[in-house]
Amino acid sequence: MMPMKKHLAIVGATGAVGQEILRILEQYQLPVDQITLLSSKRSAGTELTVRGERLTVQEATPDSFQGVDVALFSAGGTVSKLLVPEAVQRGAVAVDNTNAYRMDPHVPLVVPEVNGEAIKEHQGIIANPNCSTTQMVMALHPLRQAYGMRRIIVSTYQAVSGAGHSAMVELENETKGILEGEKVTPTILPSAALPVHYPIAFNVIPQIDRFEPNDYTLEEMKMVRETKKIFQDATLEVAATCVRVPVFRGHSESVYVELEQEVSKEDVISSLQAMAGVIVVDNPEKQQYPMPIDGVGKPEVYVGRIRRDLDHPNGWHLWIVSDNLWKGAAWNTVQIADQILKS
Ligand code: L14
């Protein structure tokens, strides 16, 4: 039988995540024969080289998805709400990187190493979790599987690239401006869609995305809801504080987790080491622990600072780091696309 030619579309090809998807396609053999790059009207016409081929980015419209097998969406929730249904209607499987469909009960929310089998249940849409959720469940999954898990309390230290290319430009310009004694006028962070903005250079902002009525931010509630969905455990106790730090790439997380059993540190470490996609970097004697600068452009999730709680024998403190644009977004999306294309 002739193998079917496969056609991949990338929506948001010129954005922070889209650019990393293209970088990953240079290094990783995804079984596709044709690639279409799509964007907003604003970026249409941009020329990009993909796998040695010069491609022109086209404006994404409903008809862009004619003949497309898999469409990767990383152009924000509004674009996904508008165009994901159009892609699905034309027979494509959509892998969506935004918050638009994650909590839809008909949409699997997938981290392949954790719940890859959920891909099979898709009805045209598969959602990629929030970057902070993805790296956390990667590290916690093996511990939960082996020892059971009752409670998670997490504080994040999130890089500006999560808020897109414009937030990276804002951090760069503010840093230069402040060092040169200029007055800076932030317009992007904590969120371009909100009325009040704060500088991120030489600062830390305890708000990512808008506030929900319960005084948690949407980013924090995404972590809560998505973690329960991925683990299929509504009784798991989860609370999050999400914080923006002046780092370009790589999210860090301080996580407190309560297991259902008392286990040794060796057991915790060997469970983490056995997990595909997780690397343990934990050597206090040599001052070794994960940091964002070591994880940039890498697909793995790094875990260190592993220590038992001082008061609760089943409680553990972990430090989890990963490139938010890779495992947190582009790499997880490509992994899902790969499974769909090969099925
Ligand atoms: O929900 O600003 O996929 O860092 C992840 C990154 C929301 C914004 C998501 C950020 C986005 C977040």
Domain extent at residue 157 = 133-324
pLDDT digits (tens, 9 = 90+) for 136-182: 999 999 999 999 999 999 999 999 999 999 999 999 999 999 999 99
- Catalytic entry in 131, 165, 197, 312: 131
pLDDT digits (tens, 9 = 90+) for 124-138: 999 999 999 999 999
pLDDT at res. 4? 83
Residues 228, 125 share a domain: no
State the CATH number of the domain containing residue 116: 3.40.50.720
pLDDT digits (tens, 9 = 90+) for 255-307: 999 999 999 999 999 999 999 999 999 999 999 999 999 999 999 999 999 99
Task: Give the N- to C-terminal CA distance of the chain in Å, as an integer.
Answer: 16
Q: How far apart are alpha carbons 330 and 333 in whole angstroms? A: 5
Q: How far apart are alpha carbons 253 and 264 in whole angstroms? A: 22
pLDDT digits (tens, 9 = 90+) for 11-22: 999 999 999 999
Nearest 10 degrees: Cα torsion 12, 73, 28, 327: 100
Instruction: Determine the average pLDDT of the residues in 36-59.
Output: 96
Closest residue CA from atom 11 of ligand 1:
130
pLDDT at res. 135? 98
**Is residue 2 a part of any domain in this protein?**
no
Residues 42, 14 share a domain: yes
User: Using a 6 Å CB cutoff, which residues line ligand 1?
Assistant: 98-99, 130-131, 158, 162-163, 208-209, 219, 222
pLDDT at res. 1? 56
242 as an active site residue: the answer is no
Residues 164, 24 share a domain: no
CA 209 – ligand 1 centroid, Å: 8
Q: Judge whether 68 and 33 are in contact, CB under 8 Å.
A: no
pLDDT digits (tens, 9 = 90+) for 257-267: 999 999 999 99
Residues 279, 195 share a domain: yes
Q: How far apart are alpha carbons 191 and 212 in whole angstroms? A: 14
Query: Parallel, antiparallel, or unpaired for β 58-59 and 278-280?
Result: unpaired
CA 266 – ligand 1 centroid, Å: 34
